């Protein structure tokens, strides 16, 4: 007994599916392979280990700017520390910072780690008002029980 259908119409459909399936699988595979470099992962300082965020790979680092850590030099470079109250990471950035960037505020910096585990940012994003922190930062800090907004009431925390 043959595994092919007896109907010529059903056989034709089976051959079409058998021809299209590998082409479709190849197209999906090539698309996923091409997109692997455009994916940017988000880490908090305590999660940014050398295994998860190797040197040279573009990632996003989020947390709070540590108090009294911002140092500006005359050449336009800014060095500051980002923390999630568990670990801290030194960040260097050359360029203009957002107007709302300041100590104690939530930020997300995109860039790459250097071999010495300093983070070189190419872009820095700051929160836009008193009621906002980047979602990833707030979720990570809340999950660790470290983040408490100043204006939160007891009902907001539950």
Q: How many CB atoms lie within 10 A of CB 131?
A: 9
State whether the Cα torsion 94-125-90-35 is positive or negative: negative
pLDDT digits (tens, 9 = 90+) for 130-149: 455 667 767 777 777 766 65
pLDDT confidence bin for 153, thresholds 50/70/90? very low
pLDDT digits (tens, 9 = 90+) for 10-64: 889 888 988 999 999 999 999 888 887 667 788 889 888 888 888 998 899 988 8
Which residue ranges make up the annotated binding site for heme?
128, 132
Which residue ranges make up the annotated binding site?
128, 132
What residue segments make up the domains of the chain, in order of their start?
Answer: 41-126
How many alpha carbons fall within 13 Å on the CB side of residue 73?
Answer: 8
Q: Give the architecture (CATH level 2) of 41-126.
A: Beta Barrel (2.40)
């Amino acid at each position: 007994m043959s595994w092919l259908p007896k109907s010529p119409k059903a056989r034709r459909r089976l051959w079409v599916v058998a021809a299209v399936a590998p082409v479709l699988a190849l197209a999906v595979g090539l698309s996923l392979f091409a997109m692997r470099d455009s994916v940017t992962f988000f880490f908090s300082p305590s999660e940014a280990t050398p295994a998860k965020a190797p040197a040279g790979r573009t990632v996003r680092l989020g947390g709070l700017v540590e108090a009294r850590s911002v140092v500006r030099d005359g050449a336009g470079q800014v060095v500051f520390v980002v923390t999630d109250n568990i670990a801290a990471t030194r960040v260097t950035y050359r360029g203009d910072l957002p107007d709302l960037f300041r100590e104690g505020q939530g930020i997300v910096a995109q860039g790459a780690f250097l071999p010495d585990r300093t983070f070189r940012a190419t872009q820095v994003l700051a929160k836009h008002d008193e009621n906002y922190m980047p979602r990833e930062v707030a979720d990570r800090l809340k999950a660790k029980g470290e983040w408490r907004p100043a204006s939160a009431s007891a009902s907001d925390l539950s």
